[in-house]
Amino acid sequence: MNKIISKILFVLLLVFSVSCSEDFLETENKNQLTVENFYKTQQDFWMGLNSLYPPLADRGMFGLEWHFLFNSFDDRILFETTGLDQISINASNESVSSNWRALYFGLYRTNVFIKAIQESDEIEGFPADMRNNYLAQARALRGTYLFYLVTLYNEPIFYDEHSIPTDLIGNLTNGKPEEFWDLLAEDFLFGIQNNYLPMQYPPEDAGRVTKGAAQAMFGKAMLYKHYHYYVRKGKKGSAEDIHDLQLAKDMFKEMINSGQYELIQPKEPKTREDYIHAVLCNFSYVDLPAGKNIYPSENNRESVWEIQYSDERIASGHLPGWQWSGALNVNYFSAHPSSYRNHEAHPDLFMAYETEGAPDGFERDPRAYATLFFDGDRIDFRTGSPYENTTYRSGIHNKRIAYSRGLIQYPATHPSRGFGIKKYYFPVYYEKDAPKNDPINRNMIRYSDVLLMFAEVTYLLNENTTEGLNALNVVRRRVDMPDVPALTKEAIIHERDVELALEGWRWHDLIRWSFDPEWGIDWVQILGRQTGTDDYGTYFIKGKHEYLPIPISEINKHEGQLKQNPGW
């Protein structure tokens, strides 16, 4: 019996000799940092500040969806298939949700950053002026995101650094338009008025918000506010409206007088190429040659604020640009034969360029040739490029693209069977040594836009129109087109149409003008309608299509709380 007991004891001993230490079930995460340990050092804030810029470059914004949505809606652009082209989207459209998401990346990150920097104690190696500059950059960026939210989505979700949502289930509601407009104005003015933003950054920091960038964005916002807020709310011409427009005008004027910016001018001997490249260099990522002259590309003196893109490859990230299998925007939209060419220019745009007064050697306003690809145009000017001598050739895709807006055949009067889009797609190529991401910077605001906005503000203020008229004519004089005699709505509409064509702003211009009947925006004429189908009207429905729908997924998440925009 003793033997049995001892055997059993031995076995039990074995069993209990195997046991675990207390922290056996604790594993260390080596993949990612935890939230609690961030925003402690200057380095953390620098990293945090850097993270506030990518939302603009994100696929949801200028990385892709801006092209898909607003280029497709644009009456000057034909999209390959029906649908987007006819604004035929709904609240579950993925481009819209992608855009919405990108804007809230922006709003959330800026608010988290602003809160953290305001709450942080003094940090060694983080001097006050640097701190103020970081905060001013963050606030100008927040202002930018608020601007896009309120102008694209009417009354979407609003919060600031004091009201960052924490309730995971949501129950977020629509913001009030005043909340957006007031905070964004404060945000831009914070950096401008306190001089926390420099006129210029050192070369390695190009692309950050400068004082000029903040001023231009502020001015643009106030101009939009006039239409989106004051006109819509019946407060057009009110004291507040005038005050805001006056502020915008002062900002633009300060920029014009600063000597910081200039339009890139064609240089002697002013060949055809000089004219074209002086404009086109703003949409290229390599400097453009014309004889002995070189026209500087990105971040030049005409550039007020550019979203920076590089062809450095990013591992599975969302930014910048198009991130699918390393394919390029040019792959989808460019003029190159191997591109899908989802977009082409509408022949009406070509017709919009004036013939009268065009400089020697030009049938029309030279900007037509800087904006559009014609059969026979070279598509790449870089020496040694495999496409150095390749020319633009229409005819493979353009028919199906044109078809989408009921444009069955180009009229015989057109010199070309199809027009490619040149801006931002020049020079393009698609070959073995092609860049891995679309490297072309995106101009948020360039100087001619500032001049034209200045003209518009002075027109709206109805004062000292020679100043405004002059600004508009400065834009025309670059390409030696004759001055227009008077500052009119028509002149402003036309000049923005031809100067800023295919840059992604036309749709937003049309929308804001359309709020004010005086501007006479006729959607039927602009976008057309289906023939013989009166009961379906135009593609554009007034009171609906001015704003994007709030993504249905968001409406569902905040059930009953978040209201959809009218008509969607």
Partner 1 sequence: MNTITMKKGLKLKILLLFLAIMLQGAAIYGQQTVTGSVTDASSGEALVGATVVIKGTSIGTVTDVDGNFSIQVPGLQEDLLISFVGFENQEIPIGGRTVIHVQLQESDVLLSEMVVIGYGTVKKTDLTGSVAVVDSEELNRIPASNFTKALQGRAPGVMVSQSGSPGSSAQIRIRGIGSINQNPNPIYVIDGVITGGLGNLNPTDIESIQILKDASAAAIYGADGANGVIIITTKRGEKGKPKVSLSSYFSLNRVPQQFEVMNANEYSEFYTTLLEENNIAVPVSYDDHFRQWYFGEGWQEGTKWQDEVTRLGMANNHYIRISGGGDDSNYSISLNNSNEKGILLASGANRFGLRANSDFNIGKYIKIGETLSITRNISQSPTTYEGNAWQVTLINSPLMRMFNENNKGGFEGPQIPYEYTMPDGSTEIVGNTGFNDKPNPRGPMEIGDDRNFNNNVLASIYLEIKPVKWLTYKITPAVEGSFNRSKLWYPAFDMGVRSKAQAELTEGFSENINLSLENQLTFSNQFDKHNITATAVHHVRKNEGNSINATALGFPYEQLNVISQSFEEGRQVQGYFSPFTSESYLGRLIYDYDSKYLLTASIRRDGNSRFGPANRWGTFPSVSGAWKVNEDFLQDIDEISMLKLRFGWGQTGNSGIGSFQYQSLLDNFTQFSPVFGMEQRMLPALNVVHSFGNPSIKWEAAEMLNFGVDLNMFNNKVQFSAEYYIKNQNDLLVKIPMSAAFGRVSGAGDPWVNLGEIQNRGFEFIGTYRKMEGAFNYSISGNITTIKNEVKYIPGDILSGNNLTTLGHTIGSMYGYVAERIITQEDFNEEEKYLHALPATGKPSPGDLKFKDLNNDGSINDLDRTIIGKTVPDFVYSLNLEAWYHNFDISLFFYGMQNFEVYNHLRAAIEGFSSQDMGHNKLRDYALNYYRDDRPSEKYIRADMNNTNQNDRPSTWFLESGSFLRLKDLQVGYSLPKWILDSTGLSRARLYVNATNLLTLTDYSGRDPEAPTISGPLTPGNDNGTYPVPRSLTFGVQVDF
Beta carbon of residue 393, minimum distance to partner 1 (angstroms, whole number): 7
C-beta of 303 vs 470, nearer to partner 1: 303
Q: Does 512 participate in binding partner 1 (rule CB under 8 A)? A: no
Rounded to an integer, what distance in angstroms lies between the CA atom of residue 501 and that of residue 423?
A: 9
Torsion over CA: 526, 529, 534, 538 (sign): negative
- Size of the residue set binding partner 1 (CB under 8 A): 115
Residue 80 near residue 342, CB atoms below 8 Å: yes
Among 439, 452, 455, 478, binds partner 1 (CB under 8 A): 439
d(CA 540, CA 214): 33
* Subset of 377-406 contacting partner 1 (CB under 8 A): 393, 395-397, 399-400, 403
Rank residues 239 and 408 by Cβ distance to partner 1 and give the closer one.
408
Q: Which of 157, 185, 197, 453 binds partner 1 (CB under 8 A)?
A: 157
Q: Are 464 and 458 in contact (CB under 8 A)?
A: yes
Q: What does the block give as tokens for 333?
A: 């939209």
Query: Which part of the chain contacts partner 1 (CB under 8 A), choosing from 41-49, 238-246, 276-284, 383-391?
Result: 41-49
For tokens 């920097």, what's the residue?
Answer: 117
Q: Which of 310, 385, 391, 465 binds partner 1 (CB under 8 A)?
A: 310
Residue 534 burial (CB count, 10 A):
8
163 near partner 1 (CB under 8 A):
no
* String marking each residue 219-258 x if it binds partner 1 according to CB under 8 A: ----------------------------------------
**Candidate list 128, 168, 239, 412; residue touching partner 1; CB under 8 A:** 168
Cβ(350)–Cβ(419) below 8 Å: yes
Q: Which residue has the tokens 């945090």?
A: 48
Taking each helix axis from N to C terminus, what angle separates 489-499 and 447-461, rounded to the nearest 10 degrees?
A: 170
Q: Which of residues 253-292 bind partner 1 (CB under 8 A)?
A: none
Establish if 205 lies at the interface with partner 1 (CB under 8 A): yes
Question: Of 319-358, which residues contact partner 1 (CB under 8 A)?
Answer: 319-320, 326, 337-340
Alpha-carbon gap, residue 367 to 249, rounded angstroms: 27
> Given the complex with partner 1, which of 100 and 350 has the nearer CB atom?
100
The alpha-helical segments, DSSP class H, found in 322-393 are: 329-333, 347-352, 367-371
Extract the tokens encoding 158. 């609003």
Instruction: Give the nearer residue to partner 1 in terms of CB position, either 292 or 432.
Output: 432
Residues of span 69-98 touching partner 1 by CB under 8 A: 81-83, 86, 88, 90-92, 97
Q: How far is the CB of 389 from partner 1 (least distance, A)?
A: 16
**Of 101, 95, 228, 218, nearest in space to 157 by CA:** 101
Does 505 contact partner 1 by CB under 8 A?
no
Q: Counting contacts by CB under 8 A, is residue 412 touching partner 1?
A: no
Q: Is 265 exposed, middle or buried (0-12, 13-18, 19+ CB in 10 A)?
A: middle
Q: Which of 311, 293, 314, 255 has the alpha carbon at shortest distance from 451? A: 255
Among 128, 239, 315, 412, binds partner 1 (CB under 8 A): 315
Q: Build a one-symbol-per-residue string for 110-149: x at contacts with partner 1 by CB under 8 A, - elsewhere.
A: --xx--x---------------------------------
